[in-house]
Structure 1
Amino acid sequence: MLSKIALSTIKHRLKDFIVLFTGLTIAVAIFFMFTTIANNRAFLEANSIIQQITLIFVIGEFLLGFITLIYLTFANNFLLQLRQREYGLLMMYGATKSQVSQLLFRETLILGSLASVVGIFVGMALTAIAGNVLQKLLYLNLPHWQFFNGRGLIVTIVFFAVILTINGIWNVLHLKRTQLNDLLHANQVNEKLPTKMGRYFIFGILGIILMILSFIIMHKIAQMGLMGLILALILNVSGTFLIIRASLILILNVLQKLTGSYKGLRRFTIGQLTFRLSAFDKLLTIVTLMFALALGALSVGRGFQMTVPILASQNSAYTIAIKDPTKQETANIDKLTGVTFKTTYQYKMVNKAKLYLSKAEFSQVNLPVLATNGTMQTQESLKIPKTTYADAKELANKYPSALNQLLVNITANNVNVTANNMGAIDASFLNKTAFAVAKGQSGSITVIRVKDYNANETTLAALVKSQMANHSDFSTDTITGTYPIVQLLRSYMGGIEFMGFFLAIAFLTMLASTLMFKVLSNTAIDKKRYRILSMIGANTSLLKQTNAKEIGVIFGIPMIIGFLDVWFGLPMFKPIMGNVYLGFGFAAVVVVILYVLYYLLTVFLYQKILALKQKHN
């Protein structure tokens, strides 16, 4: 009977429960996404250059579990806030505390169970879509990728079953300890702003010290190892909490005393923030952590994506060489943007054993070579005093990243030729007249270098695919330039690149859900306050501005501290990345844009729920 009443209540109050249900669903989905990867040991070990990646993900799983637990606590409190007065009324009409407690427990479990089932399916869909789309966008083909595994499913079900049961029991105990009068007047007690600011000033200083210590440890993470990472995380989270707790109180206290606080509805805004002070310090600490994790993950992922072409360019002087380009391949070559070098060399081959090259062409347009410092430049002249095979080999040995690769590309049909087997190439440089009369199968090879590899990735991939189709003996060993080197490096770094983007999506979604959910959960209380303001003369425009500023403060604090966390924390990746700030600009723009969109959506939903467009009589 109580189960039917619980289901009926949820059905009839679906509009009120939808925010809670949506939040729980997203929490389950994100936890499932992360747990699926964390429990896919084969994927982690095969696609990472970090030896302890599996252990790091296990720690991350516990961290996300902690964040999810805090999130569900917010959701649990919201359920109590939403229903306390109704439970009190039920008791007034004769229901016992035991019956009401059972009703509350079943409502919690039913809603949580439904959200868990939906969340698991949403999580599988998000994992599959995000994983496949990211691999295509990043041109990755990661082995052992799975959007579902049984262990991840079991961990998710057990975790949420335990957490929902604990929350349900806590709700029952809370309800039994609460007096009837308190239930009927729930959420009408304001938290007073402390007047003794000394201890909060000390908390703020202590928080800053802990944050600085965490940044110092992050810079020395290579020497301290995994324990350093755990210690840095503990110090950072503790410092963030103390800073947010102290800063909110100190700022509100100062603002309240300023004469300017009486202008417009500023006093009301301060009061609103004060009212939810104890909840916001914990909330903002978690949101700050998720913001930093999202920004950091995206920075690292983008950094690896940008680092790979740079490393590849240090091992080859040109981007790609196209042998005997067809009309379609020529059209694709014309699509390349930012071309800094392009030329075509003619060749003649006799019986796939003897190769003739035009000395005049190489002298007129010098082949790109790498300087000793690894930067790309063009050789001023290719001096070839004789036209013998030995001279070609000598030149190839002198510039192995240039002519060596080119000769391998040309002689790809010779199965005995590899990048490390130059002895199989019988190549000669002929003068213009000798080359013209030489007999053999004529062909050409077009050498291209582009400034921005990532911008031309799609076209380059199409060219390589076409070359492999047109030349049956072509393989990854005979395609030369930076393109094959990029593919090789991605086989080592692609997993980190992928995980950076994937985890950024997960944390951004969780962040948006957590912050948006907590803010929207207060609308039931705020409706009355904004109604009163409207009744005493506050116009709609001013109410909207006030509401937007209040929510803006809540969104702004995690963003500022999160940026500091990432800026000082990125150096921990220096041993494996080199320039750790390479992807920070891109990540910052993307995260800020999405974060602002979350903020605008939250303001829109909040004001829509408050019905600020309506005039109240």
Structure 2
Amino acid sequence: MILKLALTGMRKKRRDYLILFTGLIISVAVFYMFLTMSLNKDFIARNSVINHIQPVFLVGTVLLSVTTFFYLFYTNSFLLSLRKKEFGLYGLIGVKKQQIGRVFRLETLVITIGALVIGLALGVLLSRVVSWLLMSGLDVGFAEFKVIYVPAVMWTAVYFLIASFITSSVHSARLAKTPIIELLRSDVQSERVVKKPTLTALQTMLGVLFLGIGYLSLYFMEQLRFIGLFTAPVTTTAGTYLLFAALLPVIVRKWKRNKKANLRGINAFTSGQLNFRLSSLKWVLATIAMLIALSAGAIAGGFAFKNDAFLSIDRSWQYDAALYNPGSAEIALLATIPLQEQNSFHVKQDDTYLYYVREELNAAPPLVTDWETYRVVRPEPLPENMKIEDDYQIIPDNWVAALETINPALAGTKSFRIVPLEQYERITGEEVSILLARTADFSAYLQKWQALEELQNDVYSTMMPGFDPKTDAVTSKYSQFKSQYALASGTFFMGFFLGLAFLTMMASILMFKILSGAANDIRRYDSLRKLGVRRKLLENSISREILIVFLFPGVLGLMHVLVGMRLFSFILQEPYYRLWVSILIFLAIYGGYYFFTVHLYRKIVLSHQ
């Protein structure tokens, strides 16, 4: 009987359950994709670059799991609110509350299992696409990568089944404590709006104050640093909830009292509808605004981190290649690249020191970054007499950076000596020739830098005993870029798919909240229709009402994103890089849910007219 009741209830509320089902499918797919990318042990072991990405996807999995749990908890409460009267009727005919609770848990379990089956299939496809995009960008092979990874399937299923059981059990316990008369009257209970002008004014002042502090903390994040990282999210969140609690009811009441606006069409009815449901909407809308900021910000942050991999590497490395003992193959390949600058240096080494030629260094001082002014400069010429203290030769700071630029692989392995050419020629030791090359655009020749690095593997094996090309990397700009780009790419995909999942769940929650009250509005729209109001006016009223509900959190959420990207100002050089893309993605998903909500709402309340 319990199974029959559950299936009957699901058929009756299939539209509402479909919303939960859709959000769950996307969550399962993204969750599985993150786990597959972070748990493929053999694949990670064979690809050192992927080691940099693994923690990023693990962090994404944790964030998504927390958000998904609250999504399940929230949507289950909505499902329960839709079924209260039905469950009350079950109680009247003698069904025990424990049995009713089992019906609700069974319904949730069936939805979760269905979402797992479809979500895992979608997750396999998503993992294949994301891994292909990621590995193509990083030039990493697919060896040992398993798209269908059993541990990821197992942990995904375990997490969602446990989360579903916990959330449904909590709501079943709440259901058991609710009197039957309250369940039966759930669809006729009005949501009263309590007017407290003093409290409203206080909440508004505090909301504006907190939001102002939050925005200022974000704007001056580069100066505030860690203080801002704590202050900004706390005060912005508090200000958002206070403003929605205080200002939203006031704005709608002001509109309702505007006679000029309310005398047009059935605007008075529309404003009354909004005013009627404010007490339950305001907290939801505040949460939606924060989720919009998180989701759109996650997508924008992903783009910015990926772009910063190119900007930061150019700031750290002024020269695109430092070739040791370049042979004919390296010289020929380098000749195909339009170079802005090319210099050669010679270094000798013995058991104790690295020796540089003073005249050679002064003739072509390399470009270095002055970390006090953050400007690219050339060091001043080296003096003839340089003191030695405690076996350390005293040279200007910029020349220390210059020697690391010239000799990135060996500079830190031994102490150095800068000597005149005559003395250098008398020194016995292994000599290394180093060629520095620089182009106008490092990113335009990535494949050629990679080819040069592969050619340098043999040189490193000869020059540095113990060097293994399979496990060790050449010390070069391209090698460091590859590691940074791997981490940035992982962050990009994490941000993009987390943002996508957040946006979908957020819009599903808002849609679910609006549609959960649709059944109660059928009588109101039916009464207007009987009074002679045209169907077109009723449809327009629904569109405006839902548009206002979607508009409030959407506008404030986008404001949070526009200001909130300053959060990364002391980490990234261009935190607003391609922000417009994330805004367009948000508008497409949010707008799609708005039109779908309007369609479903009209279908529910106007179906008999």
Same fold (TM > 0.5): yes
TM-score grouping bracket, smaller chain normalisation: 0.5 to 0.7
| Structure 2 Cα separation of the partners of residues 212 and 37 of structure 1 | 40
Counterpart contact for 2:289–2:557, Cα < 8 Å: yes
User: CA offsets per residue over residues 564-612 of structure 1, 9 Å max, x none?
Assistant: 4455555655xxx6255822352x4233222222233223323433567
User: Which deviates more from structure 2 when the two are superposed, residues 493-502 or residues 301-310?
Assistant: 493-502
State the match for 1:463 in structure 2: 448
Is 2:580 the partner of 1:589? yes
- The answer to whether residue 519 in structure 2 is matched with residue 519 in structure 1 is no
Offset at 1:107? 3.5
Residue of structure 2 aligned with 1:108, choices 104, 107, 131: 104
Alpha-carbon distance between aligned partners in 1 of 2:34 and 2:344, rounded to the nearest angstrom: 54
User: Quick one: structure 1 residues 487 and 27, their matched pair in 2 at CA, closer, same or farther if it must change by over 3 Å?
Assistant: closer
The residue correspondences of 1:285-296 to structure 2 (distance < 5 A) are 285-296=286-297
Q: Deviations over 1:262-308 (max 9, x none)?
A: 22343233223223212211211221221222233334443333333
Judged with a 3 Å threshold, the aligned counterparts in structure 2 of structure 1 residues 217 and 371 are, in CA distance, closer, same or farther, namely closer
Alignment-derived partner of residue 73 in structure 2: 69
Partner amino acid for 1:552?
L
C-alpha distance in structure 2 between counterparts of 1:506 and 1:70, whole Å: 16
Looking at structure 2, the residues matched to 49 and 20 of structure 1 have their Cα atoms a distance apart, in angstroms, of 30
Measured in 2, the distance between the counterparts of 1:275 and 1:38 equals: 48
1:64–1:2 CA distance, 2 compared to 1 (3 A): closer
Q: How far off is 1:113 after superposition?
A: 0.8
SS in 1 for 2:178: helix
Superposed CA deviations along residues 415-474 of structure 1, whole A, max 9, x for unmatched, are: xx88978999xxx9xxxxxxxxxxxxxxx99955345x6x74xx61x3344445566547
Which structure 2 residues correspond to residues 19-418 of structure 1 after superposition, within 5 A?
Answer: 19-26=19-26, 47=52, 65-66=69-70, 68-80=72-84, 84=85, 86=86, 96-99=92-95, 101=97, 104-120=100-116, 122=119, 125=123, 128=127, 132=131, 135-136=134-135, 139=138, 148=152, 154-174=158-178, 176-178=180-182, 180=184, 182=185, 186=187, 188-212=188-212, 229=230, 236-258=236-258, 259-319=260-320, 342=340, 369-370=367-368, 372=370
Give the gaps of 5 or more residues in structure 1.
335-340, 348-362, 384-396, 410-416, 429-443
Q: Is the 8 A contact 1:28 1:115 kept in 2?
A: no
Task: Note the C-alpha offset of 1:252.
Answer: 0.7
Provide the C-alpha distance between the structure 1 equivalents of 2:179 and 2:139, rounded to a whole number of angstroms.
Answer: 53
Q: In structure 2, what residue type is equivalent to 1:550?
A: E
The equivalent residue for 2:551 is: 556
Q: Work out whether residues 298 and 500 of structure 1, in 8 Å CA contact, stay in contact via their aligned partners in 2.
A: yes
1:581 and 1:276 mapped to 2: Cα distance? Answer: 45
Counterpart for residue 438 of structure 1: none
1:506 is displaced (CA, Å) by 3.4
Q: Which amino acid aligns with 2:508?
A: S
CA distance in 1, matches of 2:329, 2:373: 29
Change (3 A) 1:24 1:67: closer
Q: What SS does the aligned partner of 1:178 have? A: helix
Aligned-partner Cα distance in 1 for 2:128–2:484: 25
Partners of 1:130 and 1:23 lie apart in 2 by 20
CA separation of 1:615 and 1:156: change in aligned 2, threshold 3 A: closer
Which residue does 2:570 correspond to in 1? Answer: 578
Q: What letter matches 1:197 in structure 2?
A: P
TM-score with structure 2 length normalisation?
Answer: 0.67
Cα distance in 2 between the residues matched to 1:590 and 1:119:
29
- Kindly state the Cα deviation for residue 166 of structure 1 after the two structures are TM-superposed: 1.7
Per the normalisation by structure 1, the TM-score is 0.66
Report % sequence identity.
Answer: 20
Q: Tell me, in whole angstroms, the C-alpha distance in 2 between the residues paired with 1:98 and 1:503.
A: 46
Answer yes or no: is the 8 Å Cα contact 1:39–1:151 preserved in 2: no
1:208 deviation in Å? Answer: 2.9
| Residues 198-218 of structure 1, C-alpha deviations (whole Å, 9 max, x = no match) | 322222223333445556777
**Structure 1 residue 134, shift from structure 2 partner:** 6.8
Assess if the C-alpha contact under 8 Å between 1:101 and 1:175 holds in 2. Answer: no
Letter in 2 for 1:314: R
| Superposed displacement of residue 164, structure 1 | 0.7
* Residue type of the alignment partner of 2:298: A
Corresponding residue SS for 2:439: strand
Aligned-residue CA RMSD in angstroms? 5.8
**Gap change, CA 1:526 and 1:150, over 3 Å in 2:** same
In structure 1, what is the equivalent of residue 350 of structure 2?
none
Deviation at 1:251, TM superposition (A): 0.3
Instruction: Write the deviation string for residues 114-159 of structure 1: whole angstroms up to 9, x where unpaired.
Output: 2323444526927846863674477498999998286675454333
In 2, Cα distance between equivalents of 1:123 and 1:328: 50
Cα distance change of structure 1 residues 531 and 117 upon mapping to structure 2, 3 Å threshold: same
Query: CA separation of 1:214/1:169 partners in 2, compared to 1, >3 Å: closer, same or farther?
Result: same
Quick check: 144-153 or 285-294, which moved more?
144-153
SS of residue matched to 2:191: coil
Cα gap change, 1:298 to 1:11, in 2 (>3 Å): closer
- Separation of aligned partners in 1, 2:335 and 2:181: 77
Contact kept? 1:140, 1:494, Cα under 8 Å? no
Deviating more after overlay: 472-481 vs 204-213: 472-481
Inter-partner Cα distance in structure 2 for 1:17 and 1:615 = 19
The unaligned stretches of length 5 or more in structure 2 are: 46-50, 346-362, 383-396, 422-433, 461-468
What is the alpha-carbon distance in structure 2 between the residues aligned to residue 282 and residue 29 of structure 1? 29
Deviation, 1:515, is 2.2
User: Distance in 2 between the 1:263 and 1:77 partners?
Assistant: 34
CA contact (8 A) 1:38 1:57 kept: no
Q: Distance in 2 between matches of 1:217 and 1:376?
A: 28
Q: 1:21 to 1:108 in 2, by over 3 A?
A: farther
* CA shift in 2, pair 1:581/1:262, >3 Å: farther
Superposition pairs of residues 449-528 of structure 1, within 5 angstroms: 449-451=439-441, 456=444, 460=446, 462-468=447-453, 472-473=458-459, 478=474, 480-481=476-477, 483-490=478-485, 499-526=494-521
